[in-house]
């Protein structure tokens, strides 16, 4: 059973990493929206990180088009060009802090953070990743998120 779980995670991580940055953002947004009721207990066990809150606040202050650019920059290590925000603080975070950071962002999707439009249809590749992650096993989802963030 563990082998199947490992293969499922490896396959999901591999497919996710092959997505373009916009599809990765879509998958993260849809996953966090889907599991938002269960994630806080896991992600917020520690005191909220001030660095996370500052970075979320920095993104919230940007116009929506720049928010999207900033989120793209956080997920894309080889992004070149002018930075909308400093990505160094994010790069220095451990996996748990990144998980909490994206959770904090997800809590504001569609309000102070640009959200996924209601009529948006994920690409076929993004839908494949979402289908792989359609599991009631929250621990598997958390492991996936820690590997891809």
In the prediction, which pLDDT does 85 show? 80
Beta bridge partners of 109: 113
Q: Return the exposure string of 54-86: e unless at least 16 CB atoms fall within 10 Å of the residue's CB, then b.
A: ebbeebeebeeeebbbbbbbbbeeeeeeeebbe
Q: Is 6 left (phi over 0), alpha (psi -120 to 50) or beta?
A: alpha
For 137, the domain range is: 2-148
Q: Please give the tally of structural domains in the chain.
A: 1
In the prediction, which pLDDT does 84 show? 73
pLDDT higher than threshold 70 for residue 46? no
Least confident residue range of 28-32, 43-47, 132-136, 142-146:
43-47
- What percent of the chain is modeled with pLDDT above 70? 81
Q: How confident is the model at residue 112 (pLDDT cuts 50, 70, 90)?
A: very high
In the prediction, which pLDDT does 11 show? 93
In the predicted model, what is the mean pLDDT of residues 74-79? 72
CB atoms within 10 A of CB 19: 20
CATH assignment at residue 48: 1.10.2090.10
Put simply, whether the predicted model's pTM sits higher than 0.85 gets the answer no
């Amino acid at each position: 059973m563990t082998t199947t779980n490992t293969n499922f995670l490896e396959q999901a991580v591999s497919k996710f990493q092959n997505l373009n940055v916009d599809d990765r953002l879509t998958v993260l947004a849809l996953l966090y929206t889907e599991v938002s009721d269960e994630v806080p207990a896991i992600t917020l066990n520690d005191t909220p990180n001030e660095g996370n809150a500052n970075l979320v606040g920095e993104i919230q202050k940007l116009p929506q088009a720049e928010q999207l650019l900033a989120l793209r920059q956080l997920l894309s290590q080889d992004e070149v060009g002018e930075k909308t925000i400093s990505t160094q603080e994010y790069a220095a975070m451990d996996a748990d802090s990144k998980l909490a950071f994206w959770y904090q962002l997800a809590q504001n999707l569609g309000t102070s953070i640009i959200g996924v439009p209601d009529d948006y249809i994920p690409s076929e590749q993004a839908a494949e990743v979402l289908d792989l992650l359609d599991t009631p096993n929250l621990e598997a989802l958390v492991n996936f998120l820690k590997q891809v963030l």
